[in-house]
Amino acid sequence: MSLNEKAERLAKTGAVTSLLVEGDLLTATVEGDTGTWKVHRDPEGWTCTCPANTLGHKVCSHIGAAALYEKYGVMWDAVNRARLRMARRDNGKEKDASTSRP
Ligand SMILES: [Zn+2]
């Protein structure tokens, strides 16, 4: 799995649990496979608290996920909320069906 694929998977599956954007500054919390990391962006660039970034100095999937989530998160959240509503409606139907049973 490439870094971009991993970043996209994280971003789409709700691994980005918080995102705060103020102009050029961004702070995000990303739940990775091995821990929960803080991602920061300032005018000098991106940093992440995970070992790949702090020790390996690499752009990691958490940074990728935060960047993707900044762009598309609103859209994905809307989709997730719609799914949640549909799931709740289905649960409601089941309840209605059970209560109408003799
Ligand atoms: Zn990272």
Residue 24 CA, ligand 1 centroid: distance in Å:
19
- pLDDT tens column, 21-56: 999 999 999 999 899 999 999 999 999 999 999 999
Burial class (CB in 10 A: 0-12, 13-18, 19+), 59: middle
The end-to-end CA distance of the chain, in Å, is 53
> What is residue 96's predicted lDDT score, i.e. its pLDDT?
56
Residue 77 CA, ligand 1 centroid: distance in Å:
22
- Across the chain, mean pLDDT equals 89
Cα dihedral sign, 7-33-21-40: negative
Residue 5 CA, ligand 1 centroid: distance in Å:
14
pLDDT over 90 for what percent of the chain?
A: 63
- Give the residue extent of every domain in the chain: 3-99
Asked if 76 and 11 touch (Cβ cutoff 8 Å), the reply is yes
